[in-house]
Structure formats: structure tokens, C-alpha cells
Amino acid sequence: MDTVDVALARRSYPVWIGPGLLADSARWRARIRGRHVLVVSNTTVAPLYLGALERGLAGLTWSSFLLDDGETHKTFANVGRVLDALGALGATRDACVIALGGGVVGDLAGFAAACWMRGIDFIQVPTTLLAMVDSSVGGKTGVNLPVGKNLAGAFHQPRAVVADTELLRTLPQREYLAGIAEVVKGAAIGDLPFFAWLEANAAALARRDADVLVEAIARKCRYKAGVVARDETEQGERALLNLGHTFGHALETAGNYSEILHGEGVAIGMVLAARLSERLGMASAEDTHRLVALLQRLGLPVEPSKAHAASRLLDLMRLDKKNTAGTLRLILWRGIGQAEIVSGVPDADVLAVLE
């Protein structure tokens, strides 16, 4: 097991990474302060792992709320249903929400916890690789709107993250590979040695080698934890963690959150950001080629669908949360490990890359 600490003074918390952690209930139960617990999961994950979690809740007053599976269910309506479930449970200010699932479950459950009595505890138990390396760490919670992804939400840090790598055994390969895209993103933003390590270990990572997997998750979480500790509410440096996201979120929204997975959107978005950086004279073609080659070795897509007009995608990109006063702000790079925020990129250049 590896432990990554997210250092946020009184709101600091551990990210535990390794096999068998769900069964190690003494470890995570110590982070529950009250007697009321609501487990939020979905109809795919609950039949697999809710029983194991239940054994660690003996003696507590608890219930569960299950979402249907998929990004389309990350809605305000379902936040309301979780809040109703907390009310039915009689949850008090020291209650705890446990998010057992992927990013959709974690984001929505965390948002509901942030809303109930203006904020109660929650614990992340991610069951996808993408959630383990990204969405479960850092306290971003929220829901999607028809006009864009994650446009409503709150910063609300968990009490702990329990990243049990044994839970990934049931994860479909496509979703597993989509999670690796977020690992690559961390290296591409600010860790050239980690990027080189991924190039050397791509095959082992793709086949889920246990030791390589734990190291990859820990290195990505350690990098993100450092950024979050320095910029919790994304006033500066934390925005760099969105490399590829402005493009990727537009692609997800254009496809009604059902055509591509989030990690696939990030993979394509990183390539588009690299190509735009190259077009603007910020970075070399060699860095773009290295990124594309690594993503392809990992079985990830690198080209956007031709089904969506470039002008439509650009309109969706304008709704990105990083934008200010109508100005498009993108995360680009000056090469691998050197991401930066760039404002005022001409529409013509963005459209050229999208086309």
C-alpha cells in the first residue's frame, strides 16, 4: 500500500492506494465521526461491492441510494434524491456520505454532502481508475447541465480516499484505459520524468500489472495533491490540471455525454491542445508526436469525431469555467511537462485545429 497526503491544514486527508483496502474497514471507519452513513453507488457497482462495504458499517445507522449507471445521470434531480435519502435516514451534522463508484458517483455524492446542512463529511471509495487518479482527489464536486459539463458544483474535500486496486478487476478495459489518460495528463502537465516512465511502462500498465499500477496511481495522486495543497480553489496553478479538458468537455457535451468516455475526451483534448500549441509556435512537433504515440500504445483515441462541426465545438468551449469576460482561456504547453494558461487565442487557430 502507498499513502498520499493531501495537505490542507485542518481539512487534510489521506489517499490510501493498494489492494484489499475495502476489507480493511478499521482503517476507513475511523474517518467516520457520527452514527449515520449514506452510501451512494450505482446499479453496476453496488451488486459487486456494496456487500463488502456493508460489513464495515456494522453497528451504524446506514442506508444506500443507487443511481443508474452513466454520465447522463449526474444531474440536479439526482442530487435532490440523495438529499431526500439523507432526510429519510435522519442524518445529522456529523453524518457521512460514502461514494462507492466512479467519477459520476463521487462528484454527485460529494455535491450532495456539501449541500446537506451546509456541509457534512464524505469518503471517496473510487471503483474506476479515472476516479482513483483524478476525480476522487481534490474536492471538486458537482453535476452536469444540458449546456455544459460540471457547471454547477462546490469545492468540498473528502475525509479520506480509499483507492482499493482490487476493485479494478471488474472494470471493463475501455474504462480502464480511459483512466490511464488522466495519468498521462498529469505527466504531460508538469512531470517529464514521469512521462518517460510511462513510455517505458506503457505495456505493463495497459495489462494491469499490479506493481506498475500502484506506482502510476500514487505518482499521479502525489502530483495532484501538491497542486491542490497550493491552490485548492483553482485560482491559478490548479487550472493547469485541465490540460485537454476544454476540448474534451466540448466533445462530451456535443455527444450528449454518451459518445465518448471522459478519459477518452481528455486524451483527444490533450492532442488538440498540443497541436494548437505547435500551431502557435509554443512547442515542437516532436512533443506532439511523443504524446500521440504514447496514447496510441495505451489504446486511447487521439482524433475527434467528424460528426460535430468545429463551430459548434468552439461555442461549447466558450462555456468552460476557466474563461473570463468572454475570453477563451486554454491550457496549452511549451512541451511535455511545461503546461501554462494562455488567453486570447484567436478563434481561427482553434477552429483550424478542430477541423
Q: Which residues pair with 278 in a beta bridge?
A: none
From the list 156, 222, 245, 321, the catalytic residue is 245
- pLDDT tens-digit profile, the chain (355 residues): 999 999 999 999 999 999 999 999 999 999 999 999 999 999 999 999 999 999 999 999 999 999 999 999 999 999 999 999 999 999 999 999 999 999 999 999 999 999 999 999 999 999 999 999 999 999 999 999 988 889 999 999 999 999 999 999 999 999 999 999 999 999 999 999 999 999 999 999 999 999 999 999 999 999 999 999 999 999 999 999 999 999 999 999 999 988 999 999 999 999 999 999 999 999 999 999 999 999 999 999 999 999 999 999 999 999 876 666 567 889 999 999 999 999 999 999 999 999 9
Rounded-to-integer distance, Cα 50 and Cα 52, Å: 5
Contact criterion met (CB below 8 Å) for 216 and 134: no
Is 36 a residue of the active site?
no
Is 245 a residue of the active site?
yes
From the list 36, 74, 219, 249, the catalytic residue is 249
**Which among 204, 207, 132 has a CA at the least distance from the CA of 164?**
132
107: its cell numbers: 462528484
From the list 156, 242, 275, 321, the catalytic residue is 242
From the list 36, 220, 224, 321, the catalytic residue is 224
From the list 220, 238, 275, 321, the catalytic residue is 238
From the list 182, 215, 264, 278, the catalytic residue is 182
Is 156 a residue of the active site?
no
Is 312 a residue of the active site?
no
Is 182 a residue of the active site?
yes
Is 242 a residue of the active site?
yes
Q: Which residues pair with 14 in a beta bridge?
A: 5
Is 249 a residue of the active site?
yes
- Per DSSP, the residues of 221-265 read HHHHHHHHHH-TT-SSGGGGGGTTHHHHHHHHHHTTTTSS-HHHH
Contact criterion met (CB below 8 Å) for 263 and 130: yes
Is 238 a residue of the active site?
yes
From the list 262, 290, 321, 329, the catalytic residue is 262
Is 208 a residue of the active site?
no
From the list 140, 149, 220, 222, the catalytic residue is 140
Is 140 a residue of the active site?
yes
From the list 234, 252, 264, 278, the catalytic residue is 234
Q: What is the pTM of this model?
A: 0.92
